[in-house]
């Protein structure tokens, strides 16, 4: 399992990095973050081809890059199925006891 997904799921993990060059939030495939050429240079190739020099990760994301959004291979997350409760609700009930 990777990030809560079964191994059969062949979609790559895509992360969002904000570039200090254009202040846009670009999408980068996780394997690019580990590539030796990228690690040495500190710049990562986004889906749109932009070389991202990442802003500090504590800053809020910039405006999304429209081209990266178009090229994102991952399926958008859907809402939780009805009937599932969040963990927080159960924890509040336990604490109240």
Concatenate the DSSP letters of all residues of 17-85 into one string: EEBTTT-EEEEEEHHHHH-HHHHHHT-EE-TTSPEE-BPPTTSPP-EEPHHHHHH--SPPPPPPPTTPP
CA pair distance 79, 81, nearest whole angstrom: 6
Please tell me the total count of domains within the chain: 1
Region 71-91: mean pLDDT is 63
CA pair distance 52, 54, nearest whole angstrom: 6
* pLDDT digit string, tens, across residues 5-53: 555 567 789 999 999 999 999 999 999 988 998 888 899 999 999 999 9
> What is the residue range of 48's domain?
14-76
Region 70-91: mean pLDDT is 64
* Residue 84, domain member (yes or no): no
What pLDDT is stored for residue 57 in this prediction?
A: 84
* Residue 91, domain member (yes or no): no
* Residue 85, domain member (yes or no): no
What pLDDT is stored for residue 1 in this prediction?
A: 42
* Residue 28, domain member (yes or no): yes
* Residue 89, domain member (yes or no): no
């Amino acid at each position: 399992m990777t990030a809560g997904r079964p191994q059969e799921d062949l979609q790559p993990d895509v992360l969002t990095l904000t570039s200090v060059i254009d202040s846009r939030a670009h999408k980068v495939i996780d394997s690019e973050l580990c590539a030796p050429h990228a690690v040495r240079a500190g710049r990562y190739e986004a889906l749109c081809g932009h070389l991202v020099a990442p802003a500090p990760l504590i800053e809020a994301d910039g405006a999304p890059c429209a081209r990266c959004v178009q090229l994102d291979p991952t399926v958008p997350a859907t809402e939780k199925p009805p009937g599932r409760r969040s963990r927080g609700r159960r924890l509040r009930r336990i604490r109240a006891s």
